[in-house]
């Protein structure tokens, strides 16, 4: 199967395109019509086998992790997903892998409100990039900047640490666990929650690289130096992580492990999020941005999160 046959078979599905798609898959480029009164939100993300997923992984799992990473960025901005571009590199055009990849990819695109409008395929080491395009009412985008002293730090989403614990399953260090496996292979971007927070949050970010590291991005984007005071007892931790790894390592996994795709937001004191959320800390003025845990510096041997340069 050559590139063009693969595109026709797997990625040129005959579904009704929204009226805003003037030109979709099959031409040199896509053409979309702008929605009056809205702003466009664009994000690109990658998944590389051996880097972001195991070298040998299912097409279904690869598709879900790939698409969820991109859509979670839209959720963090409070955007409504609209369009999608896919660039896929395959070591060979194996229908046994591509069939479940394409099926899950299209299922999730429909579920999350995305229409595939173009992309590219080529041969090489297994990897993929998605460009996701969303929109929101003009001037309403959630941003990393905007957090202020006195704001409360809220975590929206499933309890933390399960995705990081699953890496130990992949290493063979511990037995498989259904909750951890689901957190790693089936992340679910919080689209509706992000939209609901547009009128409430002073700042927002999705947790992909680790809660501490992503929270530092919020602090560094603030207009004033802030320290986030986090509280151990308030951090929700995924099922059985404490029982298997102990309380200290479980807390480290929860706060630094990443791959959670929950939303981390700040709201003024006295304002409760309109979506289910856990208050895990508060922001105070400081000379330089930083993090504290139960009034103390973070353990010196912790890495704040995933380092893409390592």
Residues 184, 281 within the same domain: yes
- In this structure, is residue 310 part of a structural domain? no
Alpha-carbon span 189 to 142, nearest angstrom: 15
Residues 31, 74 within the same domain: yes
Residues 119, 236 within the same domain: no
Residues 116, 175 within the same domain: no
Calculate the alpha carbon distances from 215 to 154, 190, 227 in Å: 11, 17, 10
Q: Which of 137, 164, 195 marks a domain boundary?
A: 137
CATH number at residue 28: 3.30.1330.10
CATH number at residue 272: 3.90.650.10
Residues 130, 176 within the same domain: no
Alpha-carbon span 52 to 46, nearest angstrom: 8
Residues 16, 106 within the same domain: yes
Q: Please provide residue 206's backbone torsions phi and psi, each rounded to the nearest 5 degrees.
A: -90, 150
Residues 284, 186 within the same domain: yes
Residues 121, 195 within the same domain: no
User: Global pTM?
Assistant: 0.91
Full domain range(s) for residue 222: 152-297
Alpha-carbon span 149 to 265, nearest angstrom: 14
Angle at 291 between CA 227 and CA 69, to 5 degrees: 110
Question: Which residue from 72, 15, 68 is spatially nearest to 206, judged by alpha carbons?
Answer: 72
Residues 113, 176 within the same domain: no
Q: What is the pLDDT along the chain (310 residues), one digit of tens a residue?
A: 666 666 666 566 656 778 888 887 877 888 989 899 999 999 999 999 988 898 889 999 999 999 999 999 999 999 999 999 999 999 988 889 999 999 999 999 999 999 999 988 889 999 999 999 999 999 999 999 999 999 999 999 999 999 999 999 999 999 999 999 999 999 999 999 999 999 999 999 999 999 999 999 999 999 999 999 999 999 999 999 999 999 999 999 999 998 999 999 999 999 999 999 999 999 999 999 999 999 999 998 898 877 655 5
**How many independent structural domains does the chain possess?**
2
Half-sphere exposure of 219 (CA within 13 A, CB side): 25
């Amino acid at each position: 199967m050559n590139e063009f046959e693969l595109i026709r078979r797997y990625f040129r599905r005959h579904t009704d395109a929204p009226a805003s798609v003037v030109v979709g898959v099959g031409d040199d480029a896509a053409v979309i019509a702008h929605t009056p009164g809205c702003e466009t939100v664009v994000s690109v993300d990658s998944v590389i086998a051996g880097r972001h997923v195991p070298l040998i992984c299912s097409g279904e799992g690869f598709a879900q992790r790939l698409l969820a990473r991109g859509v979670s960025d839209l959720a963090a901005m409070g955007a409504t997903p609209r369009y999608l571009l896919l660039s896929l590199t395959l070591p060979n055009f194996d229908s046994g892998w591509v069939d479940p990849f394409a099926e899950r990819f299209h299922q999730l695109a429909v579920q999350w409100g995305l229409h595939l409008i173009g992309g590219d395929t080529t041969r090489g080491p297994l990897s993929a990039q998605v460009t996701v395009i969303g929109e929101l009412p003009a001037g309403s985008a959630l941003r990393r900047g905007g957090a202020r002293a006195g704001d409360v730090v809220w975590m929206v989403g499933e309890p933390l640490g399960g995705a990081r614990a699953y890496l130990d399953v992949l290493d063979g260090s511990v037995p498989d666990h259904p909750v951890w496996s689901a957190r790693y292979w089936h992340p679910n971007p919080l689209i509706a929650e992000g939209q609901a927070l547009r009128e409430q949050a002073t700042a927002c970010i999705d947790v992909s690289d680790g809660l501490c590291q992503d929270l530092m991005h919020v602090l560094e984007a603030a207009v004033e130096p802030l320290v986030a005071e986090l509280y151990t007892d308030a951090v929700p931790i995924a099922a059985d992580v404490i029982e298997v790894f102990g309380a200290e390592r479980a807390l480290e996994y929860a706060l630094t492990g990443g791959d959670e795709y929950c939303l981390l937001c700040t709201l003024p004191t006295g304002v409760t999020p309109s979506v289910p959320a856990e208050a895990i800390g508060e922001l105070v003025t400081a000379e330089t941005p930083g993090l504290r845990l139960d009034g103390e510096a973070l353990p010196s041997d912790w890495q704040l999160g995933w380092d893409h340069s390592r």
